[in-house]
A = this chain, B = another copy of it.
Amino acid sequence: MSTNRPEVRIAERAGFCYGVRLAIDKARQASEAGEEVTTLGQLVHNPGIKADLESRGIQTAELADQVEGGTLVVRAHGVPRDEMETLKSKGELQLIDATCTWVLQSQKAARELDEAGYTVCIIGHENHPEVRGVRSYAGEKHVVVDDMDRSTWERVPRTKKLGVLSQSTILPSKLEEFAAFCLKRCHDLRVVNTVCPVTLTRQDDSVKLAAEVDAMIV
């Protein structure tokens, strides 16, 4: 650091992705229209947004069972299949499905790969809400492996057909490495690249900025 007052720079593309922004906007709009709004889990882990939503009377429930009436917002991460079915079956509930289009695409890909006879392998964080949602469409044989813990990759079976999906926010290089790994274990590999394009540009911007600064807060 050359002076006592550090220069603060923000990456070119920063802030919430459009999936999260859309979910926030939908919750606010419903609230402004006088509806009693609850979100299923936090829309985004950001104290400012959390305070703003609370000040508008928008509540957060952790489980679908905790919500009986009013308007429920399903956040951008999506929810597991059975949870969505439960929510849809609640007649008294007004449902706003703000699941990100990219996540919906992953869920669809998981179902299609499973139906086509591929053992679905998802790389990401086992307990991430998005992964919990996507894996619920991936059939009984599916496995989840951790992008940062190579030992979990051993969960991938040696079988004829492997189908690979990723959590939307992992590093593309990890997906490539995992795809090469899976190719050793099967004859027919299908990889649906579900790394989010918005995340991709942000990762690029972050790497670029990181090379130009002394310290970085993500």
A193 contact from B172, B175, B186, Cβ within 8 A: B186
The winner among A179, A180, A189 for most chain B CB atoms within 10 A is A180
Q: How far is the CA of A186 from the CA of B183 in the complex (A)?
A: 17
Map CB proximity to B onto A192-209 as digits: 1 under 8 Å, 0 otherwise: 110000000000000000
Q: How far is the CA of A2 from the CA of B33 in the complex (A)?
A: 91
Counted per complex, copies of this chain come to 2
Residues of B within 8 A of A188 (CB): 190-193
> Which chain A residues numbered 156 to 189 have a C-beta less than 8 Å away from chain B?
172, 175-177, 179-180, 183-184, 186-189
A150 nearest CB across to chain B (Å): 16
A187 nearest CB across to chain B (Å): 5
A189 contact from B177, B186, B187, B191, Cβ within 8 A: B191
